Every structure is written in structure tokens, then in C-alpha cells.
Amino acid sequence: MSSGQESVLSEYETDTSQTSKLLRKFKETPFVPIGMAGFAMVVGYGLYRLKHRGNMKMSLHLIHMRVAAQGFVVGALTCGVLYSMFQEYVVKPKE
């Protein structure tokens, strides 16, 4: 292995706490937890609205809830990819 790979592997091996690993991952990719939180909020709101859906069929309500939750996650991940591309190619151009 090259020395660059060894330093990365040793960094991952030294963090043994699950909490520290989770926090490090959240710092590396902040839009994934945002997408997960948004998914949970959409599902929670959909379950709340399930009681007051009126004459809408259950299957139609669940389909709308699924599409909204997936849309939020895909949107958050797309924003994360665009943000990382912006950071890599515009803010820090390669020399």
C-alpha cells in the first residue's frame, strides 16, 4: 500500500467509537443526514395526515407520501453532489 492509503486506513482504525464514526461521516457528507431527517419528517407528517385524509383512498395517500419522501431524499442528495462538485471544481481549482 502507498503511504497515502495507510494514513487513511490508520485514521479509520483509530476511531473505534460508533458515535465518533457517525459524527465524522456527518461532517464528510452533511446532505445524507439532512435527507434522512427530511424523509422522517415527511413520513411523520404523512402518518399524521392519514387520520384526516377525508375521502382519499389509503393507497393513494400512501403513494403520495412515498413520492414526497423519495423526492426529498433525492433532492437532498442532488444538492450534496452539486455542493461537492462546486467545492472541488470552483472553489479549489486543480493546478
Q: Dihedral sign, CA of 10, 13, 17, 20?
A: positive
Q: What is the pLDDT of residue 12?
A: 56
Cβ contacts of 1 within 8 Å, gap of 6 or more: 9
Q: What is the pLDDT, as a whole number, of residue 51?
A: 84
Q: Are residues 26 and 33 in contact, defined by beta-carbon separation less than 8 angstroms? A: yes
Rounded Cα gap, residues 38 and 30, in angstroms: 13
pLDDT of res. 20: 84
User: What pLDDT tens digit does each residue of the chain (95 aa) get?
Assistant: 455 555 555 555 554 688 887 788 788 888 888 888 899 999 899 888 888 888 889 899 889 999 999 999 899 989 989 988 888 888 887 66
